[in-house]
Chain A
Amino acid sequence: MNWFLRGIRRGILTEKEFPQVQWPSELHRSKEGEVKCPTDALKEDRWDPNRCIFCRACEPILSPTGRSVQAQVKRSEPSFRRSFYLYPIDVGTCGGCNLEFRLIASPQHDMTRFGIFLTNTPRHADALVVMGVMTPKMEEVLRRAYDAMPEPKLVILLGVCAVSGGILGMPPDIRGDVVIPGCPPTPESILRALVEAKSGE
């Protein structure tokens, strides 16, 4: 069958609500006890999503709630409300963030319904999406991509490696306007953060 007709016959596959994911999701303490966290994400009884790699070493003392991990949007930009072009840059990922970021374009999530698009050059980008731990040869590439972007611009740190270095290294030395924790963050939590960053609803 013609692929165009096939696409139409399948109807709308885009979802308003997404299925619950256990790992990664917000964690809560469900039992008393000591936890040996490999990334020090638990300090003085406080769980820090920016350090958590969701390795399940704390199970069952901490357990997942199924609620999407909350991103921190420190700055949003109203001029990106109608169209928001993203340039992803991988400075040292395991491939997980790359794939989850790609999946925000899947029909179930459909980022374009929110006016979110990808661009192949930082010169056309409104936001730089930084993923992975900092690797030496990518430092220069990251700086040049950032410098090439027009103002106003946002920096989005995607995944725990870019936020805090996770378990594998050091984070990139760049200030994030939007911080999306997770290992890797789910397409749902990425989309929610992006919509908030562009001052959308």
Chain B
Amino acid sequence: MRIIGDLGPHCLTSEGLAEGPCKYSRPTIGEGGYGSFNFLYGPSAGGLLESVAFDILTYGESIEDVRALSYKTRHIKVGGLPLRDVLFKVERINVPFAASHTIAFLTAVENALGVSPPEEVVESRIAQLELERIRNNLLVIQRLAEAASFLVPTYRLLYYVEEVNRAISRSCGHRYFLGANYLGESRCQELHLPRIDVEELRDLLSNRIFIDRLQGNGVVKEDWAIGPAARAAGFSYDARLEVPELKYRDHGFKIVTESKGDAFSRMLVRLEEIEVSLKILEGVEVKPRRFELPSREGRGIGRVESPSGDLAYMVQVEQGSIKELHLLPPSRINILLFLRSMPENIFTDFPFNWESFGIWISEAEVSIS
């Protein structure tokens, strides 16, 4: 059994809900000695894709401790709203992971109502999750190359990110899967695969200057890690093999792991997972399909492997509306891992370590009531 994270008042584990909160060691706030000072980076600064601030305790170069300060907390009300309206809000919690959020939410609703989606819908969902993973992994590697001012690969990777967006748009109508999934319906028409030269991306590994910035940076080997951060530390954790609803085992899916647990290992895992995802997509057929959702009441959990790790929803459905909704976004766990891994590194390590976790502040800081 492994700990996944806090889901409302409970602790979600690989074997189901346990009493919460999860018992993992949370970061402690360090104290500086003589000559130390606090440096504030953010919330709106060049180099950051989203608004977030960091309070960094330092003596000048080495980082003793880091705290993340939230600035863009959005308060989203869902209680008592019809399922349809909640779905539109869930899609927009973190649009780069919209497929993961929507599919986890819809799975939770379907489990609450005691219904299993047909095979075509499951296939379509697998295709969406893998396309989203490819795009996000490319983006994370692009951000790493950009942090190193490694410009040709930076723009080659942006080219591929755009190509994936176009393939998603052709397949499902929207570049970020908005509206592609609905209650009792999957609307993606036909799968269009992006053309990605994985061998070209592997050439990044032949640049010693680039990989020097990543090796040994931000080592984290906590057994409560999730997603690529866990797999980079040698843990075979992946919701794709743990969740029965999405039948990944039928697609010959295999987990990619590394062992060092540093930013380089996290990048290697993401790079290899692009190829794994492309292979899964080759065996998937996508077509639109509707199915009946019964009008029942109940409570259900939905979990998927988002590009940055486990993402889960727990819902209570009553009379076609949401009575209760809890979210476990992967970025919340990844921020804890990032904060834990940062002390004993230096300032120049900061952007590489931050980008290597694939964190989205939009989902980490959202408050749902």
**A residues engaging B (CB < 8 A)?**
1, 3-4, 6-7, 10, 13, 19, 21-24, 38, 53-57, 59, 64, 89-96, 98-100, 102-103, 105-109, 118-121, 132-133, 135-138, 141, 145, 166-169, 183-184, 186-187
Q: Is B203 a contact of A92 with CB atoms below 8 Å?
A: no
B178 touches A23 (CB 8 A): yes
B288 sits at the interface (CB 8 A): no
Given contacts A102-B49, A137-B72, A184-B176, is CB(A95)–CB(B150) below 8 Å?
A: no
Q: Are B362 and A95 in contact (CB under 8 A)?
A: yes
Task: Give B residues with C-beta under 8 Å from A.
Answer: 43-47, 49-51, 70-76, 84-85, 88-89, 91-98, 139, 150, 152-153, 155-156, 158-159, 161-162, 165-166, 169-170, 173-176, 178-179, 182, 187, 200, 203, 207, 360-363
Contact between B44 and A145, CB atoms less than 8 A apart: yes
A-B residue pairs in contact (CB < 8 Å), sample of 7: A3-B153, A6-B200, A6-B203, A95-B363, A96-B92, A132-B72, A135-B74
Docked Cα-Cα span, A55 to B177, in Å, equals: 10
User: In the complex, what residues of B have CB within 8 A of residue A54's CB?
Assistant: 174, 178-179
- Assess A93 versus B362: contact at CB under 8 Å? Given A169-B74, A187-B162: yes
Known: A96-B176, A183-B178. A57 touches B84 (CB 8 A): yes
* A95 CB to nearest chain B CB (Å): 4
B41 CB, min distance to chain A CBs, angstroms: 12
Task: Tell me the complex Cα distance, A161–B152, Å.
Answer: 33
Closest to B366 in A: A94
Bound together, the chains give a CA A137 to CA B52 distance in angstroms of: 11
With A38-B85, A95-B360, A105-B158 given, is the CB distance from A138 to B72 under 8 Å?
yes
Whether the Cβ atoms of B152 and A3 lie closer than 8 Å is yes
Instruction: Kindly report which residue of chain B lies nearest to residue A100, judged by CB atoms.
Output: B175
Knowing A54-B174, A57-B84 are in contact, say whether A94-B94 is a contact too (CB < 8 A): yes
Collect the chain A residues with CB atoms within 8 Å of residue B74's CB: 92, 133, 135, 168-169
Task: Decide: B179 and A23 in contact? CB cutoff 8 A.
Answer: yes
Bound-state CA distance A92–B44 (Å) is: 12
Report yes or no: B175 in contact with A186, Cβ–Cβ below 8 A. Answer: yes
Hey, which chain A residues are within 8 Å of B94, CB to CB?
94-95
Q: Are B162 and A108 in contact (CB under 8 A)?
A: yes
8 more CB-based (< 8 A) A-B contacts, given A93-B50, A120-B47:
A54-B179, A55-B178, A90-B44, A99-B96, A107-B156, A137-B72, A141-B43, A168-B74
